[in-house]
């Protein structure tokens, strides 16, 4: 093998190992492959994990990435945004609209509406335990996201 071939092989192995490390940090689900494909070329997983944002902030971040040259189809951008909202978006429970709650908590529209109604009738949530009082809300979905709630 010549030097150029070795360099190309090393770059391929390095890229593959970076992609694998990036993928291992994220939960499985629709959009994971697109996040890995589009985002891992410029930064590592810790950037995403250390900078939780609201859904609106993630949308803005993705627009900035596209403007800076990240390449994805509109369908891929949509999958990436949904994946980030579901798995990494902050949940501002006392201000989020029903649509945002539906995305970030992975719940039906009826349950999201019930959260908004409960909040309106009982005042702001003060804890995860308060949130779990909403009828129809799956406590396991709440428990899985406790680190992302902002009260």
For the chain, what are the domain ranges? 3-88, 91-150
Q: How many Å apart are CA 49 and CA 84, to the nearest integer? A: 10
Contact 127, 151 (CB under 8 A): yes
Return the CATH fold of 91-150.
DNA polymerase; domain 1 (1.10.150)
- pLDDT per position as a tens digit, 51-79: 889 999 999 999 999 999 999 999 999 99
Work out the average pLDDT over 94-107.
96
pLDDT(130) > 60: yes
pTM tops 0.85, yes or no: no
User: Is the pLDDT confidence value at 20 over 80?
Assistant: no
Give the Cα separation of 66 and 39 in Å (integer): 11
Can you tell me the mean pLDDT for 81-101?
96
* Overall average pLDDT of the 39-55 stretch: 85
């Amino acid at each position: 093998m010549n030097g150029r071939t070795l360099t190309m092989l090393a770059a391929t192995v390095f890229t593959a190992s970076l992609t694998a490390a990036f993928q291992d940090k994220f939960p499985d689900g629709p959009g994971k492959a697109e996040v890995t494909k589009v985002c891992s070329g410029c930064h590592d997983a810790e950037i995403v994990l250390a900078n939780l944002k609201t859904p609106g902030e993630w949308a803005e971040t993705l627009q900035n990435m596209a403007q800076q040259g990240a390449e994805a189809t509109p369908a891929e951008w949509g999958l990436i945004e949904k994946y980030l909202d579901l798995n990494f978006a902050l949940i501002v429970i006392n201000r989020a609209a029903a649509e945002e709650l539906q995305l970030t908590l992975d719940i039906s529209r009826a349950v999201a509406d019930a959260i908004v109604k409960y909040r309106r009738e009982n005042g702001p949530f003060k804890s995860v335990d308060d949130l779990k009082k909403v009828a129809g809300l799956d406590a396991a979905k709440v428990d899985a996201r406790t680190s992302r709630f902002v009260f």
